[in-house]
Structure 1
Amino acid sequence: MTATRLTEVPLLPEIRLYQAAEQTGLFDGGYSSDRPPPFWAFAWPGGVALARHLLDQPQTVRGRRVVDLGSGSGVVAIAAWLAQAQGVRAVDTDPEAVTAIERNAVANGAQVEAVLGAADPMRIGDAEVVLVGDAFYTASVGAAMTKLLTATARRGVEVLVGDPGRGFLPRRLLTEVGRYDVPVRRALEDTGVKPTTIWRFT
């Protein structure tokens, strides 16, 4: 597992995460196609903005069953718990991410069910709110997420996405509900601030 330490998250003074060192790049650990890079070791802007949105608008999840898909570090799931969601499930395909979610939840006193698996209807289950932070970064992942989240929204589930302008976001299906300027690492984003939008699937 990538070396991490418990540090504060920009824009989220309520939350601390185990994160890689400031100058660490996503592929600095020698990761390859048969071992996913440690997305979970960083606080990505889509997730940070979505977490901030939940803390600013806690009524979005308060008392409701929540699933965070492609959870990574678990920052969105932790924010949902802090905003008094009834129950929070965090789903990721990387076993190391599941471990990271569990560690981060404990560090923040949050009760989050970390689940290993793909983003699919079975993992969503009876959720009333589905959250996705920064998942539209490749064509294949974006297409799969779009199909799943469109079908989920049609069932009456509220679906919120945090996205900093990734190339595979289906904007035609979305309504903007918020916007944040998220401080980010130049080693990851080649900029110091990433404007990030919160979207609702319609």
Structure 2
Amino acid sequence: MSQRFHNFARETGVVSLRALAAEWPPCDASTFLYPRANVGFFVSVCVAPSADKRELLGNPLVVCCLCVFVEEIPDIGDTTMLKDLASLIVKHTVPSRRHLTPELVLRLVTPECPLWRAKEDEIPFKDPFWAFYWPGGQATARYILDNGELVKGRRVLDIGCGCGAGTIAAVKMGASRVVANDIDPYAIAATSINAILNDVAVETNSNDLIGTKCEEFDTILIGDMFYDEEFANVLFGWLQGVRGEGKTILIGDPGRHGLTEKRRQHIELIAKYNLPPESCIENHGFTETSLWKLK
């Protein structure tokens, strides 16, 4: 590592390549394929800082690496998409610790981001739910970090992983296996980037697993998914079915209408937290968030 990097680190407080990945939008990317025991490939997308910053730090320097597991060799369009995902996420988000889990740094859309105030036709993403750290996800991750024995040695599935905080918390607390699941490829990419920033490795899955038996898992995390009554009915019915097979089901939610009084008769409140000010602004009036366990 060059002397210029050390000088830059002293002046700015940047102390690692991961921190650089958090601070600077990329301008270039390279994609590599790594075979994995004849069952698939890891697609690794590495992005580098702009030319002026490379000169400042010493050439060359890769500052972000996004890894996604795929079952088949992707075509050029797929690998280009991965580059685009990584670049857009880093460009439009900032690293933040202003949430209930400050020990985790997460790339999010915050009030200082132009995207926060952008009009709908100015947003380059469709429904960027992954760019916000929703209250239920905060409650889930906070509780796991404070009660690591809940997931230690267990096989955890994070449904609708979003920014990946619950997944990252479970990995840090010693789960034997953790899978981040979301049908939105941006959420998968954001989770992978946030995992890198927090020095953990994650496994991702973009299939719709709701309605499946999920036999290989014994703990399921659900955050902020009771936003719609019709979907909540499907989701809760499925959760009750898999709970009957002995799984632990944790539900993070600030009190959305889909978590009705009738459904609350089947869940147990295990934690409640006050949301930090920025989270209250993001969530239109919610000031508290809770974690529930399916009975």
Q: TM-score, normalised by structure 2?
A: 0.62
Preserved contact between residue 9 and residue 17 of structure 1 (Cα < 8 Å) = no
Question: Which residue of 1 is the match for residue 130 of structure 2?
Answer: 40
Count of aligned positions: 199
Report the RMSD for the aligned CA atoms in angstroms. Answer: 2.2
Q: C-alpha displacement at 1:51, in angstroms? A: 0.3
Larger fraction in helix: 2
Question: Which residue of 1 is the match for residue 7 of structure 2?
Answer: none
Q: Does 1:171 align with 2:264?
A: yes
Asked which structure has the greater RCO (Cα within 8 Å, sep 6+), the reply is: 1
Q: 3-state SS of the aligned residue for 2:209?
A: coil
- Per-residue CA deviation, residues 90-136 of structure 1 (Å, 9 max, x unaligned), is 11011111111111111111221111122325483411110111111
Q: Write out aligned runs for 1:5-20 (5 A).
A: 5-20=94-109
Q: Give 1:56's match in structure 2, choosing from 126, 142, 146.
A: 146
Question: Which residue of 2 is the match for residue 199 of structure 1?
Answer: 292
Q: Give 1:137's match in structure 2, choosing from 221, 227, 244.
A: 227
Q: Distance in 1 between matches of 2:152 and 2:98?
A: 22
Once the two structures are overlaid, the 10-residue window that deviates more, 118-127 or 132-141, is: 118-127
Q: Does 1:188 align with 2:282?
A: yes
Preserved contact between residue 280 and residue 287 of structure 2 (Cα < 8 Å) = no
Q: Write out aligned runs for 1:77-156 (5 A).
A: 77-122=167-212, 124-156=214-246
Preserved contact between residue 99 and residue 279 of structure 2 (Cα < 8 Å) = no
Amino acid at match of 1:197: S
Q: 3-state SS of the aligned residue for 1:55?
A: helix
Once the two structures are overlaid, the 10-residue window that deviates more, 155-164 or 115-124, is: 115-124
Q: C-alpha displacement at 1:29, in angstroms? A: 4.4
Structure 1's unaligned 5+ residue stretches are none
Amino acid at match of 2:294: F
Distance verdict in 2 for CA 1:123–1:7, change over 3 Å: farther
Preserved contact between residue 213 and residue 242 of structure 2 (Cα < 8 Å) = no
Distance verdict in 2 for CA 1:107–1:146, change over 3 Å: same
Q: Distance in 2 between matches of 1:188 and 1:119?
A: 28
Structure 2's unaligned 5+ residue stretches are 1-87
Q: C-alpha displacement at 1:65, in angstroms? A: 0.5
Amino acid at match of 1:135: M
Distance verdict in 2 for CA 1:26–1:133, change over 3 Å: farther
Q: 3-state SS of the aligned residue for 1:131?
A: strand
Q: Does 1:72 align with 2:162?
A: yes
Distance verdict in 2 for CA 1:125–1:100, change over 3 Å: farther
Q: Distance in 1 between matches of 2:183 and 2:230?
A: 15
Amino acid at match of 2:245: R
Amino acid at match of 2:195: A
Preserved contact between residue 88 and residue 111 of structure 1 (Cα < 8 Å) = no
Q: Distance in 2 between matches of 1:155 and 1:26?
A: 45
Q: Matched residues, percent identical?
A: 32
